[in-house]
Amino acid sequence: MFSKRYTILTVMKDYTKNKRPEMLEPFFPNEMFRYIIVGCFLVVLDFAAVLFFPLPFHPVNKPEHIPWFFYPGYLLKKAVQNEGLFIFILVAGSLFFVFIPFIFRWKRRQDSNRS
């Protein structure tokens, strides 16, 4: 299953077909502006909710057990005593997962250049 090569390439749909030049508009300023405005609005809404409806924090009241999704981070924190090294490991692991698609894409491009 995992040894199968990815030979299917996505083909972008041509939105300029049968359109006059005055009907076309650039993607970045016109389309992305909407997403940026909505994203900023949601961030402000979230900050306002935290500011006006804060949840009480009691550091003395600890849960009896750690939730399962915090457990790997908790074990890593216990294993690595240096806080700077702990943060570096978390950031490096996150960056590794971010760059995985680009690594596989680079291999695919390299293989296609050989043929």
Read off the tokens for 62.
Answer: 């600890």
CA distance 49 to 54: 7
pLDDT at 47: 96
Which amino acid type is present at position 32?
M
Q: Tokens 């692991």 — which residue?
A: 93
Per-residue pLDDT, 32: 80
> Residue 6: pLDDT above 70?
no
On the question of pLDDT at 27 being above 80, the answer is: no
Q: Cα dist. 99→8, 74, 93, 102 in Å?
A: 21, 25, 10, 5
33-77 tens-digit pLDDT: 888 999 999 999 999 999 999 988 887 777 788 889 999 989 999
Q: What is residue 110's predicted lDDT score, i.e. its pLDDT?
A: 63
- The answer to whether the predicted template modeling score (pTM) of the entire model surpasses 0.85 is no
* Dihedral sign for Cα atoms in the order 9, 12, 13, 17: negative
Q: For 17-33, what is the mean pLDDT?
A: 75
